[in-house]
Amino acid sequence: MTLQDIVISLKTYWKDQGCVIAEPYDIEMGAGTMSPLTFFRALGPDPWRVAYVQPSRRPVDARYGENPNRVYQHHQFQVLLKPAPDDVVERYLQSLEHLGLDRRQHDIRLVEDNWEAPSLGAWGLGWEVWLDGMEISQFTYFQQMGGHECRPVSAELTYGLERLVSYLVGVDEIWAIEWAPGISYENLFRQVEWEQAAYSFEHASAPVLLQLFGLYESEAKRLLDLRLIRPGYEYLLKCSHIFNTLDALGAISVTERQAYLGRMRTLSRLAADKYLTSESNIEAKEGTVL
């Protein structure tokens, strides 16, 4: 079984659950939650089901490709079900069975893990899903997004693809995963990981990034004020990635963090406010805009 087989299998399963199978968003981000397909669609009253793979960049987790499991960029398989169905946990467990995992042979546990994204003004309650002691998924009931109460509540399921696959195919390090027949994860990403780590830890320029953060922030503000919601939000995503890189550089102290997160939270609230009162959202309600 290859990684792409598993992705296709998950897509099939969730397509059959009524999800739109979407493509990754084309701006660098730390988690699938930040995709507009989740961030905006979790807001407001309309039902919505979507699943997509989102490459997720975490500069602080970069290890020059030397760590067996930790990488600069991993892949999340993200599912959003709005409203959360009553049997959502069972549906998740059946997705694992769809991948060929017999739940009777494994220890599956839901361990408390409450989720908070201070930069998104968002929080939810949920669990980590442990498969034989390994965290393979995050499961969250969104309570708030962009500073707004989520009504109805969505359930977000996020599979950590590398971990899940390495477990399913029985390899000890993600480098040994076969992405496609004859193409290993190592093949695709080892050198990339080295380059990204070297950039994040050594060659990124804090002064340049700090300046970019300020520019992107003011662009986001300017565009959101013009009610250009997606372009504005995209600049917020850029801010977020720059912040993560500065963090990896060690250029942001524990307390400065709070200030930066606060600035991004202000933008995400603004984006959510504009979205909820926008024309395009009203169109979305009528089903003309995806």
Partner 1 sequence: MTDRHSSADMRSILVEVGLEEIPSQYLRDIIENFGHLMRDELRNQRLNVSNLQAWATPRRLVVRAWASKEQEALRERVRGPLLANAYKDDEPTPALLGFCRRVGVSPGDVTTIQDGSKTYIGAEIEQPIHPLEELLAPAVQRAFAQIPLVRSMRWGHGDYRFIRPVRWCSLWVEETFIPLVIAGVPGSAETYGNRTNHPEALAILGTQDYDRALDQGLVMVDQDKRRKVIETQARGLARSVSGYLDPDEELLEEVTQLVEWPTPFLGRFDEVYLEIPEPILVTSMRVHQRYFPVHKTDGTLLPYFIGVRNGIGDDLDMVRHGNEKVLRARLSDALYFYRTDLGHALADHRPQLDRVIFHAKLGTYGDKIARIHSLFDATRAAWPLNETEKDQFKLVIDLYKADLLTQVVQEFPELQGVMGEIYAQAQKFPNAVAVAIGEQYHPGHQGDRIPHSVMGQILVLLDRLDTVLEGVANGLKPTGSEDPFGMRRSALAIGRVLSESEIWQEPAYDLFMLAAQLLNLERTAADESYDLVLSRLEYHLDVTQGIPAQKSRAILAAPYPWCSYPRRLAFLDHILADPHWEGVALSFKRIDRVMKGIEVPKDPPEWDLPVEQRVWTVSQRAMAHQNSATHWWQTVQELSTAIDALFDAVLINDPDPDVRLKRGQLLAYAQKAFNLFFDMRQISV
Strand-pairing partners, residue 145, are 148
Write out the DSSP string of 87-104.
THHHHHHHHHHHTT--GG
Residues in contact with partner 1, shown as a per-residue x/- string from 9 to 48 under the rule CB under 8 A: ----------------------------------------
Residues whose CB falls within 8 Å of the CB of residue 194, separated by 6 or more in sequence, listed in order: 64, 65
Answer whether the bond into residue 152 is a cis peptide, omega within 30°. yes
Long-range contacts of 203-208 (CB under 8 A, 24+ apart): 204/245, 204/246, 204/248, 204/249, 206/246, 206/249, 206/251
**Options 48-56, 64-72, 189-197, 226-234: segment touching partner 1 (CB under 8 A):** 64-72
Q: Is the dihedral of CA 69, 73, 75, 76 positive or negative?
A: positive
Query: Quick one: which of 94, 74, 99, 90 has its CA closest to 10?
Result: 99
Residues whose CB falls within 8 Å of the CB of residue 74, separated by 6 or more in sequence, listed in order: 55, 56, 58, 61, 160, 161, 162
> What is the size of the binding site for partner 1 (CB under 8 A)?
44
Minimal distance in Å, beta carbon 83 to partner 1? 5
Out of 18, 68, 214, 262, which residue is the one contacting partner 1 (CB under 8 A)? Answer: 68
Out of 1, 89, 209, 210, which residue is the one contacting partner 1 (CB under 8 A)? Answer: 89
Residue 173: phi and psi, rounded to 5, are: -135, 150
Query: Quick one: which of 82, 132, 81 has its CA closest to 103?
Result: 132
Residues in contact with partner 1, shown as a per-residue x/- string from 110 to 129 under the rule CB under 8 A: xxx-x---------xx-x--
Out of 15, 106, 222, 227, which residue is the one contacting partner 1 (CB under 8 A)? Answer: 106
Minimal distance in Å, beta carbon 88 to partner 1? 9
- 128 vs 195 by CB, closer to partner 1: 128
Does an H or E element contain 227, and which? none
Out of 54, 78, 138, 143, which residue is the one contacting partner 1 (CB under 8 A)? Answer: 143
Interface with partner 1 includes 107 (CB under 8 A)?
A: yes
Interface with partner 1 includes 181 (CB under 8 A)?
A: no
Within 244-263, which residues bind partner 1 (CB under 8 A)? Answer: 250, 252-256, 258-259
Interface with partner 1 includes 153 (CB under 8 A)?
A: yes
Within 186-245, which residues bind partner 1 (CB under 8 A)? Answer: none
> For binding to partner 1 (CB under 8 A), which residues are involved?
67-70, 83-86, 89-90, 93, 103-112, 114, 124-125, 127, 131-134, 141, 143, 151-153, 167, 172, 250, 252-256, 258-259
